[in-house]
C-alpha cells in the first residue's frame, strides 16, 4: 500500500468508527492519536515520501488528524453528558414547583380595589409623587393661606433654582387635576398611589401611606350616582351592603361626606374595629366643586361629577390583622412571606 492509499484507508476507517461509551472513546483515541498511534506512524513515514507526494498529501493528512481529534472530543462530551443524565434523572419523581414570591399586603388590597372599579368602567390614572402647589392645592380650591392646608401637614421640597417649591403630594387628589387637564369628559378613573404627610410615626399612623382616588365626570352626574357607586364598592370589597354618608368638609368637593360602612357588632373584634359603634369609616367623598372643574377648563354648566379618596393601610391592617402600620413599610421578609400569593 502506498502512502496515499494508507491515508484513504484511514479516512474510511475513521468515518465508520463509533464509541459506545467513554472507555471505547479513550481506546480509539489511543489507537489513532496516541504517542504510538496510527497518526504518529503516518507522520513519521511522511518524512520519507517524495516532495511531490508531500505537496499533495500534507494538507489532507493534517485535516484528517483534526477530524479525528474532533470526533474523539465529541464522543467524550456526548458520552459523559449521557452518563450523568442517565444517573441523575429519575423520571418517576414527583415534580417540584418553583417557589413563588409573596404579594405585599398593600398590593393585594390595591389590586382588589382596582378590579372592582374596572368592573364598572373606571381605568387607572397616575401622577407624580413630587407635585407642584397647583396640582396638590391651588387647583383643588385651597387658596394660599387657607387654613384647610393645615389639615394636611406638608413636606416641602426645595427647588434648587429658587423659583417655585414643590411638595410631596399629600393626597392622590392631585391626580384628579392632572386627569381633568389632559382628558375630556366622560372621565372615569381611579388613581392609586403613595402620599406623604409630616406626621409623627406611631403604630396607627405613618408619614408615608397609600390612597386610592376616584373621579367620575360626565353630563348629569348626581349625588345619587355617587352613593350607588360607593354602595357597590362596599358590597364588593367589604362584603357589607349598608353604608351611610356623614356631612364633612373638603375644599374641592361640595357637598362633601365621610362614608361609613355598617360592620355590625357581632363579636369582640367588631367592637374593636368599630370602636363600639358598629360603623367603620372608610373614605372621604363629595361632588366635585364647580371651581375645581373650572380650574381644569371643564365647563361646570355642562358637566358635574363626584370624587372619593380612601387610605389603603387601614383596610390592609384590618383584613390581615396587622397590629402596627410600621410593619407595612419595614419590608421584613418574615412578615412579607405570610402573604403568599394564592396563584
* Chain residues in the site for ligand PHE (CB under 6 A): 171, 173, 213, 250, 253, 284-286, 307-309
Instruction: Choose between 8 and 183: whose C-beta lies nearer to ligand PHE.
Output: 183
Instruction: Choose between 141 and 253: whose C-beta lies nearer to ligand PHE.
Output: 253
Q: How far is the CB of 265 from ligand PHE (least distance, A)?
A: 27
Q: How far is the CB of 261 from ligand PHE (least distance, A)?
A: 16
Cell triple for residue 21?
461509551
Select the residue whose beta carbon is closest to ligand PHE and give its number.
309
Q: How far is the CB of 311 from ligand PHE (least distance, A)?
A: 8
Instruction: Please report where in the chains the cell 352626574 appears, as a residue.
Output: 221
Residue 110: how many CA atoms within 13 Å on its side-chain side?
Answer: 17
Instruction: Choose between 105 and 284: whose C-beta lies nearer to ligand PHE.
Output: 284
Instruction: Choose between 192 and 286: whose C-beta lies nearer to ligand PHE.
Output: 286
Instruction: Choose between 25 and 292: whose C-beta lies nearer to ligand PHE.
Output: 292
Q: How far is the CB of 288 from ligand PHE (least distance, A)?
A: 8
Q: How far is the CB of 250 from ligand PHE (least distance, A)?
A: 5
Cell triple for residue 295?
380650574
Q: How far is the CB of 160 from ligand PHE (least distance, A)?
A: 29
Determine the number of helices (DSSP H) and then strands (DSSP E) in the chain: 13, 10
Q: How far is the CB of 105 from ligand PHE (least distance, A)?
A: 21
Instruction: Choose between 255 and 278: whose C-beta lies nearer to ligand PHE.
Output: 255
Helix (H, G, I), strand (E, B) or coil at 168: strand
Instruction: Choose between 19 and 307: whose C-beta lies nearer to ligand PHE.
Output: 307
End-to-end CA distance of the chain: 74
Shortest CA distance to 129 belongs to which of 208, 183, 215?
A: 208
Instruction: Choose between 230 and 285: whose C-beta lies nearer to ligand PHE.
Output: 285
| Cross-sheet strand order for the sheet of 253-262 | 123-124, 187-196, 208-218, 304-311, 279-288, 253-262, 243-250
Q: Is the peptide bond before 186 cis (omega within 30 degrees of 0)?
A: yes
Cell triple for residue 181?
387637564
Separation of alpha carbons 255 and 307, rounded Å: 11
Separation of alpha carbons 217 and 117, rounded Å: 15
Separation of alpha carbons 105 and 317, rounded Å: 9
Q: How far is the CB of 290 from ligand PHE (least distance, A)?
A: 15
Phi, psi angles (nearest 5°) of residue 217 = -130, 130
Q: How far is the CB of 253 from ligand PHE (least distance, A)?
A: 5
Shortest CA distance to 320 belongs to which of 295, 293, 339?
A: 339
- Calculate Rg over the CA atoms of the chain: 38
Instruction: Choose between 192 and 309: whose C-beta lies nearer to ligand PHE.
Output: 309
Phi-psi sector, 337: left (phi>0), alpha (psi -120 to 50), beta: alpha
Cell triple for residue 150?
393645615
Amino acid at each position: 500500500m502506498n502512502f496515499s492509499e494508507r491515508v484513504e484507508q484511514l479516512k474510511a476507517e475513521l468515518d465508520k468508527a463509533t464509541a459506545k461509551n467513554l472507555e471505547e472513546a479513550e481506546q480509539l483515541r489511543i489507537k489513532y492519536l496516541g504517542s504510538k498511534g496510527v497518526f504518529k506512524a503516518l507522520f513519521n513515514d511522511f518524512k520519507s515520501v517524495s516532495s511531490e507526494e508531500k505537496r499533495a498529501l500534507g494538507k489532507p493528512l493534517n485535516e484528517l488528524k483534526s477530524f479525528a481529534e474532533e470526533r474523539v472530543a465529541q464522543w467524550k462530551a456526548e458520552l459523559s453528558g449521557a452518563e450523568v443524565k442517565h444517573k441523575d434523572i429519575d423520571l418517576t419523581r414527583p415534580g417540584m414547583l418553583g417557589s413563588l414570591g409573596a404579594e405585599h399586603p398593600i398590593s393585594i388590597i390595591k389590586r382588589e380595589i382596582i378590579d372592582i372599579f374596572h368592573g364598572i368602567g373606571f381605568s387607572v390614572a397616575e401622577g407624580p409623587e413630587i407635585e407642584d402647589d397647583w396640582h396638590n392645592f391651588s387647583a383643588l380650591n385651597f387658596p394660599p393661606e387657607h387654613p384647610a392646608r393645615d389639615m394636611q401637614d406638608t413636606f416641602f421640597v426645595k427647588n434648587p433654582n429658587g423659583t417655585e417649591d414643590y411638595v410631596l403630594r399629600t393626597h392622590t387628589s392631585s391626580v384628579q387635576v392632572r386627569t381633568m387637564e389632559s382628558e375630556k369628559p366622560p372621565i372615569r378613573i381611579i388613581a392609586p398611589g403613595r402620599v406623604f404627610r409630616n406626621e409623627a410615626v406611631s403604630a396607627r399612623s405613618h408619614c408615608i401611606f397609600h390612597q386610592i382616588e376616584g373621579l367620575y365626570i360626565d353630563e348629569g352626574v348626581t349625588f345619587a350616582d355617587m352613593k350607588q357607586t360607593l354602595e357597590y364598592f362596599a358590597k364588593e370589597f367589604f362584603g357589607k351592603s349598608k353604608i351611610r354618608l356623614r356631612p364633612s368638609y373638603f375644599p374641592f368637593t361640595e357637598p362633601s361626606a365621610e362614608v361609613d360602612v355598617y360592620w355590625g357588632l357581632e363579636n369582640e373584634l367588631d367592637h374593636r374595629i368599630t370602636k363600639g359603634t358598629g360603623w367603620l369609616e372608610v373614605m372621604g367623598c363629595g361632588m366635585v366643586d364647580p371651581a375645581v372643574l373650572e380650574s381644569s377648563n371643564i365647563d361646570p354648566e355642562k358637566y358635574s361629577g363626584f370624587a372619593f379618596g380612601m387610605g389603603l393601610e387601614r383596610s390592609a391592617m384590618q383584613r390581615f390583622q396587622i397590629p402596627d402600620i410600621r410593619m407595612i413599610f419595614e419590608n421584613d421578609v418574615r412578615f412579607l412571606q405570610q402573604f403568599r400569593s394564592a396563584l
